[in-house]
Structure 1
Amino acid sequence: MSKRPVLRVRKSGAVLVAALIALFGAVPLAGATWALAPLLLIPLAVLVWAWRAGTDVYADELRVRALFGGSRVPWSRITELAPDERGRVSALLDNGNVIRLTAVDRDNLPLVLAASGHPLSAPAGTDQ
């Protein structure tokens, strides 16, 4: 029996809808000739990515999922969660590696930390 995540962070549902529209729009074009049939793979890949990609927050770990594969990172290995200049959040690990958290941004970072049970703190020397 698998445990359920405390919080699931995903991309906007608009990406999923746009991928569906693009897939249906590409069907007549791809149906015109077999040479254009591979065009269906592009909106299909975006559809699968929009459905699958995201970050699941558990009490003891984070699970980051992408189009293919994913990563499981225990909270004990994460030293810092920090947004970049574009607002995307990455996790700095104790071994120096960095993992970008899919669909987590500066706005929903407090929700991720609250779901994990870890306190929100600002870096030294900054006002919050």
Structure 2
Amino acid sequence: MSRADTVRFRHNQAILAAAIVAFIGALPLATARWWLLWVLLVPLAVGVWAWRAGTDVDDRELRLRAVVGQRRVPWTRVAELGADPRGRAVARLDDGQVLALPAVRATDLPRLIAATGQDLPGEHAEAGPPDDGQ
């Protein structure tokens, strides 16, 4: 997947900034006793998630990225794109499985479809028969 033709959807970077602030805020507590060092893992995990998780889209595939792994789904397997009741984008696969697309909202679906090189339904539709003035 080339970087030039890939559209990346990521979570808001304010989450990463909040994780950094939380990490700095947890330092006094974590350094007070050696057994409290685990407290630093929580903001660290949130920061890694905010930096890494998301969806990458190009004309060949969807790539769903998580903290420790990723899943590649070729477009030939995607039967339908839509939204769930909470406004998150989902992809229904040809076997009926539904995948939530990380960091993609329902309002991002036109941009996601445009990244595939496909036209949106009705985008280039004819205007209809000419009006004869009657």
Above 0.5 in TM-score?
A: yes
Tell me which residue corresponds to 2:107. 107
Shift of 1:120: 2.8
How does 1:1-128 map onto structure 2 within 5 Å?
3-4=2-3, 5-121=5-121
Q: Deviation string for 1:25-58 (max 9, x for gaps)?
A: 1111100001211010100000000000000011
Matched-pair contact (CA < 8 Å) for 1:6–1:116: no
Distance 2:32 2:62 in 1: 45
Unaligned runs of 5+ in 2: 123-134
State the aligned residue count. Answer: 121
Q: Deviation string for 1:53-77 (max 9, x for gaps)?
A: 0000111101000112110000111
SS in 1 for 2:107: coil
The structure whose Rg is larger is: 2
SS in 2 for 1:107: helix
Distance 2:118 2:25 in 1: 45
Distance 1:110 1:80 in 2: 13
SS in 2 for 1:117: coil
Backbone CA RMSD of aligned residues:
1.4
Shift of 1:3: 2.2
